[in-house]
Amino acid sequence: MTTATTGTPTTRGSVGTPHTRVEGRDKVTGAARYAGEIPFAGLAHGWLVLSTVARGRVRAVETAPVLAMPGVLTVLHHENAPRVDSDFVGMLGSRPDPSVALFQNDRVPHLGWPVALVVAETPEQAREAAEALVVHYEQEPHDVAFFAGHPDAYPVEGHTPGVAEKGDLQAELAASAVVVDAEYTTPEEHHNPMEPHAAAARWDGGRLEVVDSNQGTTWVAGELAKLFSLDPDSVRVRSEHIGGGFGSKGVRAHQVGAVMAATVLQRPVRVVMTRRQMFTLAGYRSPTTQRLRLGADADGRLRALEHSCLNLTSTVHEFVEPGAAPARVMYDADAHHTANRVVRLDVPTPTWMRAPGEAPGSFALEAALDELAEKCGIDPIELRVRNEPERGPLSGLPFSSRNLLACFREGARRFGWADRDPRPGLRRDGRWLLGTGTAAASFPSGAGPSTAALTAEPDGTFTVRIAASDIGTGARTALTLIAADALDVAPERVRVRIGDSDFGPAMIAGGSMGTRSWAWAVQIAAGELRERLALGSGVPPEGITVRSDTSAAIGALARKERHSFGAQFAEVAVDVTTGEVRVRRMLGVFAAGRVVNPLTARSQFVGGMIWGISMALHEEAVRDGATGGHVGADLAGYHVATHADVPLIEADWIDDPDPDDPVGIKGVGEIGIVGAAAAIANAVWHATGVRHRNLPIRPDRVL
């Protein structure tokens, strides 16, 4: 794939050199405003009321006493809320989770389901009234029990992300000299971005304007237009600064509630989720149970690979955590069977959470590889060398580039892997047992169609307008550097405006595809603008604006296996008296395309690896079968790695530009977490001689 600008020399060289965030000063001084704090004249405040039963029907909502409370303006519920249409397929090819079709019927499919919205003059009045609102339910028995071999589990339809098979599994297993057959589990995990979900909606001259915190303004605007049967051009969604998303910030109950209330009251209304509400309204990562069967010859070459992953979903929407997907890319085998299954329970619908599929799937797959290496008496890295595929194991497609082994070589050198004694349980430092482990990482590299506008201003500066989202990744800064190089000017002469659906269709910040997708559009626009400027007729007072659209270019991409790869290394210490596991150091080496801004890219990798520590040792949302809800739905009860848990972490990368991308980008957003938990679990085995196949590796499980 080539464009007019491919290969344009980037003489200024902003891309590839570290830059602090262009909005960094605004963020640390408080000048950057977030959706929950942007002022509106006449703003009213909505507070969501969530069901206290895990299954049943709403019999009655006692609105009268609450409507008499100070400041209360309205109470919306299933009998009086505006009707919405949730029967559509949105921009990303999926149907909306019915939990966003607020108050459309009396069904309660899980605990924490939105049943009413109380709107008042102040947030305090809304909250007090919401807590006083009495809702009567007709309760039904619920079932939230998730376990391996659930009788109601069914295979997901479709090749991806469902079932993919080649070869005779039983025959190859029978012919294998070494077999690993193990079951792994990962718990329910929650994103918990620092900034809770928040949206303010108002009608302004016949247009609906929503100020929100989301991962894609044109996406959210499109979904709201469909839900409320509005002309897409009459909906504007802005999302200038976002305090984290991780997959959770799409169309959710808060925006829909704000739009409903703003419509009913004809004044601006804001709805903010509480931290506790985020545990049922913001999506989460399904728990998984995974079975791995690996069969190999004595030299470690795989004959059979089976990876089946079971996850849960709600009774109202099918969401799949495709944990068996990474095996389709990582390793080949004569018999290769992967399957993702789901079971429907009375729980909220899960959603994308950073590295959906890859994060839990890589834990099981890469831990099983480590078990195979042990059984074969082969170094874990050498085992991966022997099983490196030439082409996509199931697709047969060539890899756009695959530098996994280069990552292992560089990582092994820097980590000091060559000196490692493979035998477990031998190294001691006082009461600590020490061990090291490694694992591979991969994540798909994709791009979504985007449009951009680029203006040459009469004062010699340039303005980029694109409906990109900077969810904390540094995307705004990356796009500034890309535009600067493509225009051959200093980054100080480029201003990048993002987070506004009026800028036109653009990919979301998701799937590690944001920066790549937007950069493509910016690069094309910059090339055309340079051609216009080269004609030399000068810049008129209104500037010169060119627009780009990458739909055709992305549609014409050759079919290849496109992925980023990486190698994770961890050293742990295990306290034999308390069972505490402490990570002492981690190293990740990635081949993830051209790195635009080393400063923020490193933060992305390191952030993912820290999340891997969290996943390996801390994170676990515990569901109580009796109530159907969580035990401790807050950041006290839900443990994440804190500073004291995070040791020296190094992330680096090797040169790996995508040959088919105009900027060479692959995407760095999610791969940092992939394989990280497996590297830690493998290190715990090396320290103790005990395999931990259930996450998190809590002290009580170690002892």
- Measured from the CB of residue 359, what is the shortest distance to ligand MOS in angstroms? 9
- Measured from the CB of residue 151, what is the shortest distance to ligand MOS in angstroms? 30
Interface contacts to ligand MOS, rule CB under 6 A = 215, 245-247, 352-354, 356, 510-511
- Identify which of residues 356 and 527 has a Cβ nearer to ligand MOS in the complex: 356
Q: In what order do the strands lie in the sheet with 451-456?
A: 494-497, 462-465, 451-456, 544-549
Q: Is 528 a catalytic residue?
A: no
- Measured from the CB of residue 287, what is the shortest distance to ligand MOS in angstroms? 17
- Identify which of residues 246 and 319 has a Cβ nearer to ligand MOS in the complex: 246
Q: Contact, 595 vs 466, CB < 8 A?
A: no
- Identify which of residues 189 and 370 has a Cβ nearer to ligand MOS in the complex: 189
- Measured from the CB of residue 245, what is the shortest distance to ligand MOS in angstroms? 6
What DSSP character marks residue 457? -
Angle, to 10 degrees, between the axis of helix 676-688 and the axis of helix 598-617? 50
Closest CA to 504 of 474, 480, 468: 468
Q: Contact, 607 vs 671, CB < 8 A?
A: no
And the tokens for 693?
A: 């196949």
- Measured from the CB of residue 286, what is the shortest distance to ligand MOS in angstroms? 13
In this structure, the dihedral spanned by the alpha carbons of residues 405, 409, 415 and 420, taken in order and rounded to 10 degrees, is 90
Cα–Cα distance for residue pair 634/130, rounded to 1 Å? 19
- Measured from the CB of residue 510, what is the shortest distance to ligand MOS in angstroms? 3
Cα–Cα distance for residue pair 659/668, rounded to 1 Å? 16
What DSSP character marks residue 471? S
SS3 content of the chain, % helix, strand, coil (to 5): 30, 25, 45
- Identify which of residues 109 and 472 has a Cβ nearer to ligand MOS in the complex: 472
Cα–Cα distance for residue pair 176/184, rounded to 1 Å? 22
CB atoms within 10 A of CB 59: 11
- Identify which of residues 357 and 696 has a Cβ nearer to ligand MOS in the complex: 357
And the tokens for 599?
A: 């400063």
And the tokens for 612?
A: 């891997």
- Identify which of residues 22 and 671 has a Cβ nearer to ligand MOS in the complex: 671
DSSP secondary structure string, 356-424?
TTHHHHHHHHHHHHHHHHHHHT--HHHHHHHT--SS-TTT-PPBS---HHHHHHHHHHHHTGGG----S
Query: What does each C-alpha distance from 611 to 82, 193, 362, 404, 496 come to in angstroms?
Result: 40, 12, 14, 21, 30
Q: List helix spans (H) across 377-487.
A: 380-386, 404-415, 475-487
And the tokens for 50?
A: 């969530």
Closest residue to bound ligand MOS by CB: 247
- Identify which of residues 357 and 505 has a Cβ nearer to ligand MOS in the complex: 357
- Measured from the CB of residue 672, what is the shortest distance to ligand MOS in angstroms? 12
- Measured from the CB of residue 282, what is the shortest distance to ligand MOS in angstroms? 12
- Identify which of residues 228 and 352 has a Cβ nearer to ligand MOS in the complex: 352
Contacts of residue 116, Cβ cutoff 8 Å, sequence gap at least 6: 48, 49, 61, 75, 76, 77, 103, 130, 133, 135
Catalytic residue ranges? 670
